[in-house]
Structure 1
């Protein structure tokens, strides 16, 4: 190794020895900038901030009532070849836990239980689902809630998609302009 290479090597080493402490401080400070969003998400996931955005409260479905909300006020997210999905949360009323076997959510009226839609999972106080949103859906479509009771009966109710998720309705209107 020549004398010039040794000087360059030692200059880089001196720079590293001088600045490594400051670079390590940056490794701690940069994640701190993302902490408010993290804590807001955790409050939402735990239910401390309610069900989410645009809550549709006390929708009567058979002898039960359901509250429905979108997780975030944003357009549906693409999930590769599977299409676009929107996350919705729901909760049964506090006294409505008897007799519910399953709750489904679907864009458009289901033809049968086999096409009831995406199942909501979780406790009765906070259920969630990722609902597929077909790109050719009209912005004035209805979200259908189907409750299957332990007695085998089906109960249904609908909510306008524009009321449950205005961002999705706007996204669908924009998609319609592209066709």
Structure 2
């Protein structure tokens, strides 16, 4: 009995001693295959590849000018029970850094500052937010940019969703307003 039990262990040991070097080489080569995508993603997140996709440049909002872009050219992503979200980037113009307290992004016109939308975070040259896509959004909706100044005033502008994110507008048209 003990000899029969020892036999499979010897076979595995022989196999392991023969193939362990080759398996270790695979552990190095497989991650190398994913490195180009990793470096491309890092360039995008650092901003080396620009602001994003479908850039809407020089949108006047009050006395400032902003550029709006979607992070990736793809439909919104579902985030569990919270619903669908789309990542947008925004940049203030190079000389527009004075007087901005906060910038918000929302689909549909905000009723007040309390309902201004998702706040953007980051430096003035590259701010980001995950914009929630409401369940019954129409493909011809507007993306509203709200800037709150340090003087307490609100400044607003809108961009058609189809221009800011064609993939989202197409996804909403396909969904029929009920994602």
Question: Which bin holds the TM-score, normalised by the shorter protein?
Answer: over 0.9
Task: Tell me if 1:34 matches 2:34.
Answer: yes
* Counterpart-to-counterpart distance in 1, 2:92 and 2:116: 18
Deviation at 1:178, TM superposition (A): 6.2
* Counterpart-to-counterpart distance in 2, 1:178 and 1:154: 32
Contact 1:85 1:130 in 2 (8 A): yes
Alignment: residue pair count: 179
Deviation at 1:25, TM superposition (A): 1.0
- Can you list the C-alpha shifts for 1:146-168, whole angstroms capped at 9, x where unaligned? 00000011000000001100110
- TM-score with structure 2 length normalisation? 0.96
Contact 1:136 1:175 in 2 (8 A): no
- TM-score with structure 1 length normalisation? 0.96
Task: Tell me if 1:121 matches 2:125.
Answer: no
* Counterpart-to-counterpart distance in 2, 1:110 and 1:173: 23
Q: Helix, strand or coil: the match of 2:176?
A: helix
Contact 1:135 1:172 in 2 (8 A): no
- Aligned pairs (5 A) from 1:1-179: 1-176=1-176
Runs of 4+ in 1 over 2 A off after TM superposition: 1-8
Structure 2 stretches of 5 or more lacking a match? Answer: none
* Counterpart-to-counterpart distance in 2, 1:119 and 1:178: 25
Deviation at 1:5, TM superposition (A): 2.9
Deviation at 1:177, TM superposition (A): 7.1
Bigger mean CA deviation after superposition, 68-77 or 3-12:
3-12
* Counterpart-to-counterpart distance in 2, 1:54 and 1:156: 20
- Cα 1:178–1:91 change in 2 (3 A) is closer
